[in-house]
């Protein structure tokens, strides 16, 4: 039995008993992103047209990063909405939060504290979803996956862009094998993170959703209007391109034709997958794919530092301590 199979089996055994419960109790860590209120409404409001049944947000830990204005200035407002509108209880320690929930969502908009926030969750043996970016670096993400594997605790991370309808149709085989894909999304930068980690990850996630793993090297350049453009070369000569743009768009070409991909279809499809994951203990996205996404984005930064030279993902992974 492979380690992945063992983890899946362990997850099924550990959480099968929770599926029949009225609602799983979810704890949120990091109340500095609009995702926390959007997700809470989807889960806690049966009247919402996109209501996701099976779990409720019942507990939270504030978090917040003083050196990121868009983080620290939002905490109080989102905390007030969670407590007053949805009855969420605020805990002052992660250990205490973990004792009072069945599963955890790390929502901190800043990826840097994710590793330290994940440690007590894994220690408490709770299934863990990490919102984008999974961590502030590839090295930290590798450590989260290592700790989770060691403890047989399921974790996964994804952007909501992964679950766009057309993107998922292409992943499921609509076009056969994909030979080329191009995706675009906004790519606002944040100085404490590799460039694409902050917002470009949305478009990169769409790209990998249709291309799959197998990216071997990355070259970073600029579009005609000076925006970020990253070209990845996949095994078999396949090509995947991410471009910075105002909207969420893209196109995939495969053996059976072409299709639009990369659109944003709301948060509900992601939240549905998160709840399924908490119920079963089986991650819908393999660690290998998430790791490759992060390596692609770090390789893009390295290519920029090298003046647009091609950078091999295996070298970036080795530098980050991948086995």
Domain coordinates in residue numbering, the chain: 3-160+268-284, 161-265+295-319
Tokens encoding 54: 């099976």
| The residue to which tokens 């768009």 are assigned | 249
Interatomic CA distance for residues 204 and 182, integer angstroms: 10
Interatomic CA distance for residues 43 and 212, integer angstroms: 30
Superfamily of domain 161-265+295-319: Dihydrodipicolinate Reductase; domain 2 (3.30.360.10)
Per-residue model confidence as pLDDT tens digits over 127-150: 999 999 999 999 999 999 999 999
In the predicted model, what is the mean pLDDT of the chain? Answer: 94
Per-residue model confidence as pLDDT tens digits over 199-236: 999 999 999 999 999 999 999 999 999 999 999 999 99
pLDDT of residue 21: 52
pLDDT of residue 19: 42
Tokens encoding 193: 């993170």
pLDDT along the chain (323 residues), means of 10: 42 44 91 98 98 98 95 96 98 98 98 98 98 98 98 98 98 98 98 97 98 98 97 98 97 98 98 98 97 98 98 98 94
Tokens encoding 140: 């930290």
How crowded is the C-beta side of 37, counted as CA atoms within 13 Å?
15
Which residues touch 198 (CB under 8 Å, ≥6 apart)? 133, 187, 188, 189, 190
CATH 3.40.605.10, domain 3-160+268-284, yes or no: no
pLDDT of residue 1: 39
DSSP assigned state of 214:
-
Which residues touch 18 (CB under 8 Å, ≥6 apart)? 24, 102, 278, 279
């Amino acid at each position: 039995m492979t380690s992945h199979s063992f983890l899946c089996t362990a997850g099924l055994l550990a959480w099968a008993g929770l599926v029949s419960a009225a609602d799983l109790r979810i704890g949120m860590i990091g109340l500095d992103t609009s995702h926390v209120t959007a997700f809470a409404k989807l889960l806690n409001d049966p009247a919402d047209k996109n209501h996701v049944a099976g779990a409720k947000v019942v507990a939270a830990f504030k978090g917040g990063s003083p050196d990121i204005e868009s983080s620290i200035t939002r905490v109080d407002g989102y905390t007030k909405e969670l407590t007053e509108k949805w009855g969420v209880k605020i805990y002052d320690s992660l250990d205490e939060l973990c004792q009072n929930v069945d599963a955890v969502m790390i929502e901190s908009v800043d990826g840097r504290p994710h590793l330290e926030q994940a440690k007590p969750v894994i220690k408490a043996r709770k299934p863990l979803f990490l919102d984008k970016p999974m961590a502030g670096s590839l090295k930290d993400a590798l450590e989260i996956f290592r700790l989770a594997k060691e403890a047989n605790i399921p974790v996964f991370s994804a952007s909501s862009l992964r679950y766009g309808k057309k993107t998922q149709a292409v992943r499921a085989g609509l076009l056969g094998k994909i030979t080329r894909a191009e995706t675009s999304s906004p790519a606002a930068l944040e100085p404490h993170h590799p460039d694409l980690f902050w917002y470009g990850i949305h478009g990169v996630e769409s790209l990998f959703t249709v291309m799959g793993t197998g990216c071997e090297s990355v070259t970073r350049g600029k579009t005609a209007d000076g925006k970020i453009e990253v070209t990845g070369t996949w095994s078999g000569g396949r090509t995947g391109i991410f471009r910075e743009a105002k909207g969420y768009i893209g196109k995939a070409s495969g053996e059976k034709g072409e299709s639009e991909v990369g659109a944003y279809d709301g948060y509900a499809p992601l939240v549905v997958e998160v709840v399924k994951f908490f119920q079963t203990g089986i991650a819908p996205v393999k660690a290998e794919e998430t790791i490759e996404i992060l390596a692609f984005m770090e390789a893009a930064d390295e290519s920029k530092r090298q003046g647009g030279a091609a950078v091999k993902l295996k070298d970036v992974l080795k530098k980050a301590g991948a086995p």
